[in-house]
């Protein structure tokens, strides 16, 4: 059965001069159903996009904290719930310490800047009056009213407060979901494996294990880049004898978590604090910070994240740009782990991309043997128990695949022993 779609008038007519023969397009019901399914899936993806983001953030939190929870369970002989509580309290204490170190110092610098703002305006106006081209700008700066600027900024902040509240709610939901997954991972895994066909459980287990590795690599890269810019800002402000150098360094390390935008967030308070120390100091500090940020964005980030996530420098840059364009700061935060995760999922599902060599027969045979053994071991078992077996088999496969190959003589001896 097929549907026929004719192109041309309803009544048949002989082709005129210069016209080709009439054609018809045959569309099978399967093609129409596939197209409808794709359109429906895209519509559902658009509608459920916030839910998917919440799940992605929760998975990233789980991948970040789960190794710490496991280490506490092994080394301190803690129960799962106690280990999760200890890790969460440690993270909360760390964030509280960052706030206590940075916020009072930055507020003091802002208050000092506002106190000295009239003198800064006069100095800037005098400097601009030296050139005939900037005389109008000098008059504007001299007679500017900073209060109007802060009033308009407050109004804009009130306008976006509702959107901020919605994002805060999504963040709280992600954290709650992550905590549930950390406290009861077996039940969470069982619920996921229950809705996935059993023949795909081994592949799902490989994907989940590799996702944890990807998130761990991303977090290690983030720690390196944040520590680097924090130390750089601290050393730079110490050399220039600026007050609160430690607070600015910690603030720069925290803001560096946000790609691209974090640099601007770091630069603003440094520039405001440097105004009271003169134009030369301000220009030098701003220039040196911008120079480092360019080095980080162009050299450091592609190399560190590319090595940790197995992404090329071009892929890292494009992923950051696309994520930031689509979802702003949140998109920039999630761009790299999502790009690495998508690449890993394509590999683990054995999808052959154009231009890439096909998979070896040995790897396909290994996957088939593992899936057959898994189905035999878990026949009739509930999803929660089957998930444990799938993870164990996938972990063994990953361990063997990462082992270095034997030298030729050792491989020959092993083959002879078999």
Looking at the predicted structure, is the pLDDT value of residue 336 above 60? yes
Give the list of residues 6+ apart from residue 410 with CB closer than 8 angstroms, or none. Answer: none
Average pLDDT estimate for 75-98: 90
For residue 88, what pLDDT is reported? 92
How does pLDDT run across 129-152, given as a tens digit for each residue? Answer: 777 777 677 777 776 666 555 555
Using pLDDT thresholds of 50, 70 and 90, give the confidence band for residue 229.
Answer: very high
Q: Is 260 left (phi over 0), alpha (psi -120 to 50) or beta?
A: left
Tally of CB atoms within 10 A around 87: 19
Which tokens hold the place of 269?
Answer: 């308070």
Q: 279 in a domain, yes or no? A: yes
The residue with greater pLDDT, 213 or 224, is 224
Tally of CB atoms within 10 A around 363: 11
Using pLDDT thresholds of 50, 70 and 90, give the confidence band for residue 418.
Answer: very low
- Do 63 and 209 touch, CB atoms closer than 8 A? no
The residue with greater pLDDT, 98 or 338, is 98
Q: 326 in a domain, yes or no? A: yes
Average pLDDT estimate for 354-375: 68
Average pLDDT estimate for 375-404: 77
Q: 396 in a domain, yes or no? A: no
Using pLDDT thresholds of 50, 70 and 90, give the confidence band for residue 414.
Answer: very low
How many Cα atoms occupy the beta-carbon half-sphere of 403 within 13 Å? 9
- For Cα atoms 313, 315, 321, give the angle at the middle one, nearest 5 degrees: 105
Q: 374 in a domain, yes or no? A: no
List the single range of 160-164, 203-207, 265-269, 340-344 with lowest mean pLDDT. 160-164
Please state, in angstroms and rounded to a whole number, the distance separating the CA atoms of residues 36 and 83. 47
Q: 359 in a domain, yes or no? A: no
Q: Where are the beta strands (DSSP E) in 263-350?
A: none
- Do 236 and 290 touch, CB atoms closer than 8 A? no
Please state, in angstroms and rounded to a whole number, the distance separating the CA atoms of residues 317 and 233. 24
Looking at the predicted structure, is the pLDDT value of residue 385 above 70? yes
Using pLDDT thresholds of 50, 70 and 90, give the confidence band for residue 387.
Answer: confident
The range of the structural domain enclosing residue 89 comes to 53-147+162-348
Residue 248: closest CA among 111, 104, 117: 104
Looking at the predicted structure, is the pLDDT value of residue 21 above 80? no
Q: 91 in a domain, yes or no? A: yes
Q: 231 in a domain, yes or no? A: yes
For residue 92, what pLDDT is reported? 92
For residue 26, what pLDDT is reported? 66
- Do 305 and 218 touch, CB atoms closer than 8 A? yes
Q: 340 in a domain, yes or no? A: yes
Looking at the predicted structure, is the pLDDT value of residue 301 above 90? no
Measured distance between the N- and C-terminal CA atoms of the chain, rounded to whole angstroms: 56
Count how many domains the chain has.
1
Using pLDDT thresholds of 50, 70 and 90, give the confidence band for residue 230.
Answer: very high
């Amino acid at each position: 059965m097929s549907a026929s779609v004719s192109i041309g008038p309803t009544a048949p007519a002989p082709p005129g001069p210069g016209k080709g023969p009439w054609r018809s397009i045959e569309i099978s019901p399967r093609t129409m159903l596939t197209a409808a399914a794709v359109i429906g899936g895209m519509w559902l993806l658009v509608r459920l996009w916030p839910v998917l983001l919440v799940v992605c953030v929760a998975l990233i939190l789980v991948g970040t904290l789960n190794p710490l929870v496991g280490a506490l369970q092994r080394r301190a002989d803690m129960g799962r719930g106690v280990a999760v509580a200890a890790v969460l309290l440690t993270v909360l204490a760390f964030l509280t310490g960052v706030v206590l170190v940075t916020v009072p110092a930055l507020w003091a610098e802002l208050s000092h800047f506002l106190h000295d703002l009239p003198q800064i305006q006069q100095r800037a106006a005098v400097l601009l009056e030296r050139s005939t081209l900037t005389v109008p700008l000098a008059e504007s700066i001299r007679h500017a009213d900073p209060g109007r600027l802060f009033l308009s900024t407050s109004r804009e902040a009130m306008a976006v407060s509702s959107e901020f509240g919605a994002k805060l709610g999504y963040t709280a939901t992600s954290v709650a979901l992550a905590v549930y997954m950390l406290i009861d991972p077996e039940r969470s895994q069982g619920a996921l494996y229950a809705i996935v066909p059993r023949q795909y459980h081994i592949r799902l287990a490989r994907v989940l294990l590799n996702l944890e590795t990807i998130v761990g690599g991303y977090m290690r890269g983030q720690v390196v880049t944040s520590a680097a810019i924090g130390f750089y800002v601290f050393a730079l402000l110490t050399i220039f004898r600026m007050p609160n150098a430690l607070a600015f360094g910690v603030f720069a390390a925290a803001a560096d978590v946000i790609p691209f935008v974090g640099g601007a967030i770091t630069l603003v308070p440094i520039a405001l604090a440097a105004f009271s120390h003169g134009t030369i100091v301000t220009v030098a500090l701003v220039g040196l910070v911008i120079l480092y940020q360019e080095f980080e964005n162009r050299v450091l980030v592609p190399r560190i994240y590319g090595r940790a996530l197995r992404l090329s420098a071009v892929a890292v840059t494009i992923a950051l740009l696309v994520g930031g364009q689509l979802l702003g700061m949140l998109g920039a935060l999630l761009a790299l782990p999502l790009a690495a995760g998508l690449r890993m999922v394509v590999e683990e599902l054995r999808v052959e991309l154009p231009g890439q060599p096909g998979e070896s027969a040995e790897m396909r045979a290994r996957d088939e043997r593992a899936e057959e053994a898994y189905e035999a071991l878990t026949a009739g078992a509930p999803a929660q128990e089957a998930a444990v077996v799938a993870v164990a088999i996938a972990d063994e496969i990953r361990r063997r695949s990462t082992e270095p190959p034997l030298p030729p003589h050792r491989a020959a001896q092993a083959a002879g022993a078999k």
